[in-house]
A and B are shown apart, each in its own frame.
Chain A
């Protein structure tokens, strides 16, 4: 187990190094300058370039960037009055994490319940509903669901606040639902298929023949075992939450990471984009690491296979 964790950690470090290097190199060749303001004279532009060290050779810039990273510094924003990127990200973390966690919890609870009902009552209304939600979840982008909800519930019917407001829990409902939709879809489908497999398995037959009642079998044996592999979709789920957050946060004006990313893309704010990329990757990598270790603990077969549950 120790060796397994060490190997996973090593991969994580290599991946981070790769992300830092690639993103840094790519950004060096990025077209457009952050100082595109027409009011700047060429002399001022040269001064600005010098101040931010934009004219140094690439290796020097890279070394500076990496050493800054070790101090937890992600550089300064070009656009927003020299703000520290790490401060900007930290300030926006709470809103994103809040909406993201809400979506994750609501989405997976609803998804698991829906999946259980669908598996137990196959070909019923709930089963068809689950299938439909699963298809819609992968077909209709979160920004479509989000903006339609905003238009109908927020603008037309005016029953929910249009814009996110930190102090108002009701205003988080719509962004949460918009984000949770894909979570519900993935969890419900996964849970259903997993549970159907288990219900048809020998040990459930055995449990029944032992004389256990229906609900005992389902709760103690089937559902508990079906929940284990659901852990593995946490990784892909994080990705879809991060991806979804960018558009959902833009729609509902959530002052979060995704919103910051969109603004910085539109402004060519190099260091912010780079910093965000790094933070997103770190978030994803840590979730995957935790899931891998958890799963390795739960199911020893994974460890023996070298920890590669993709195959």
Chain B
């Protein structure tokens, strides 16, 4: 490594007269060129670094964590349960939002759209409902955050089921290939040509809406996308040399799938799954809005928005806060998913 700077191959006869002590080592202070290399990172560490650099994605992640945290502790901040109809209902029905401290700034001060202080009018000036109450005198604050819990839960559950079915199906089709693959993919093509909406509505008409059936309804069409992604990846990896070598060396299909394929298709699947969660939440809210929501008293964000919509003109805040929370949740989930996609595969980034 050092010979470039020390050797003096000159060929001329005056070579012997050169004094080696006049030469100094250049660009070498001990550990040579090794210094130029960056430390080696594993794939996921690389992803983490790229993700951390993405301000939008990190901000979304922070907001998401905050939302999740609030969803856990917020219901404890209110003395009322999400299903509790506060008596007497005449007093507590459809109260506008009121929050301590903030009320002094002219917002959240318990006045309705006509400017009347409803809390004073009904003689409950010492009580606070952060997001107001709904048309059955239930605390909207508790209901909203409880709704966030349910929406997130449905999103995660749907993604998990989706992962299981989609990856298994796509994996089998891709791995075995040939006639099996052909048949399996034709089936998904036909199933995929039925609009999601129709399938979901029919499913929920038969199996009444509940948290689990809701999640299943989301999966019933979306697993096809997951299966396609997995199959594509498996097809790509299946014919690569290292898999061939493993097979030649006598590895069983199980070993090949677990040791060689899974780690390589994992990044793509992770990306697909992160987009799946907001999708499920989106469709859940959508179905609730057309009347296929969770039965009372359980409430997802979609159900709350639907309830609020019916009295939008007179009591806009009933719809406003669940809508706001849902929008923030969806935005952050999508932005984070975008960031993760770019971090995992920088070539997919928008140029």
Q: How large is the interface on A (under 10, 10 to 19, 20 to 34, 35 or more residues)?
A: 35 or more
**Segment at the B interface, from A172-180, A222-230, A280-288:** A280-288
A311 touches B305 (CB 8 A): no
Report the Cα distance A11→B278, complex, angstroms.
Answer: 31
CB proximity to A under 8 Å, residues B158-210: 186, 189-191, 193-198, 201-203, 205-206, 208
Let me know if B334 is at the binding interface, CB within 8 A: yes
In whole angstroms, what is the CA distance A193 to B189 when docked?
A: 26
- A288 adjacent to B323 (CB under 8 Å): no
User: A261 to chain B: which residues have CB within 8 Å?
Assistant: 201, 290
A143 lies within 8 A of B351 (CB): no
Whether B205 lies near A265 (C-beta < 8 A) is yes
Is the C-beta of A237 less than 8 angstroms from some C-beta in chain B? no
Across the interface, name the chain B residue whose C-beta is closest to A23: B202
Which residue, of A23, A266, A308, has the highest number of chain B Cβ atoms within 10 A? A23
Is the pair A311, B232 in contact by a Cβ cutoff of 8 Å? Answer: yes
- Do most interface residues of chain A lie in helix, strand or loop, or is the interface mixed? helix
A139 to B286, CA, bound (A): 12
Could you tell me if A247 and B289 are in contact, using CB atoms closer than 8 angstroms?
yes
CB neighbours of A135 from chain B (8 A): 331, 334-335, 338
Stretch in A13-21, A65-73, A94-102 touching the partner: A13-21
Q: Chain B residues near A18 (CB, 8 Å)?
A: 190-191, 194
- Interface-located stretch among A43-51, A85-93, A203-211, A238-246: A238-246
Known A-B contacts A140-B327, A147-B309, A311-B228; the reply to A27 vs B338 at CB < 8 A is no
CB of A69 to closest CB in B, whole Å? 16
Interface positions, chain A 171-189, Cβ under 8 Å from B, are none
Q: Which residues of A contact B205 (CB under 8 A)?
A: 26-27, 30, 265, 268, 273
The answer to whether A151 touches B331, judged by C-beta atoms less than 8 angstroms apart, is no
0 or 1 for each of A194-227: is its CB under 8 Å from B? (1 = yes): 0011001000000000000000000000000000
Instruction: Answer yes or no: B267 CB below 8 A from chain A CBs.
Output: no
Cβ 8 A contact of B195, one of A148, A239, A311: A239
- 1/0 contact string of A288-311 vs chain B (CB within 8 Å): 100000000000000000001011
**Size category of the binding interface on chain B:** 35 or more
Chain B positions 267 through 297: 1 when the CB is less than 8 Å from some CB of chain A, otherwise 0: 0000000000010001001100111100000
Q: B343 within 8 Å of A by Cβ?
A: no
Return the chain B residue nearest A197 by Cβ: B351
Q: Which residues of A line the B interface, CB within 8 A? A: 11-12, 14-15, 18-19, 22-23, 26-27, 29-31, 122, 131, 135-136, 138-141, 143-144, 147-148, 150-151, 155, 192-193, 196-197, 200, 239, 242-243, 246-247, 250-251, 261-262, 265-266, 268, 273, 276-277, 280-281, 284-285, 288, 308, 310-311
Besides the contacts A14-B190, A243-B195, what 6 more A-B pairs have beta carbons closer than 8 Å?
A141-B326, A243-B286, A261-B290, A262-B290, A273-B201, A311-B228
B residues apposed to A, CB below 8 Å:
186, 189-191, 193-198, 201-203, 205-206, 208, 228, 232, 278, 282, 285-286, 289-292, 305, 309, 312-313, 316, 319, 323, 326-327, 330-331, 333-335, 338, 350-351
What are 26 inter-chain pairs, A to B, with CB distance below 8 A?
A: A11-B189, A15-B190, A15-B193, A30-B205, A31-B206, A138-B278, A139-B278, A139-B331, A141-B282, A147-B309, A147-B319, A151-B316, A155-B312, A196-B350, A239-B197, A243-B286, A247-B289, A247-B290, A265-B291, A268-B205, A273-B205, A280-B195, A284-B194, A285-B193, A308-B189, A311-B232
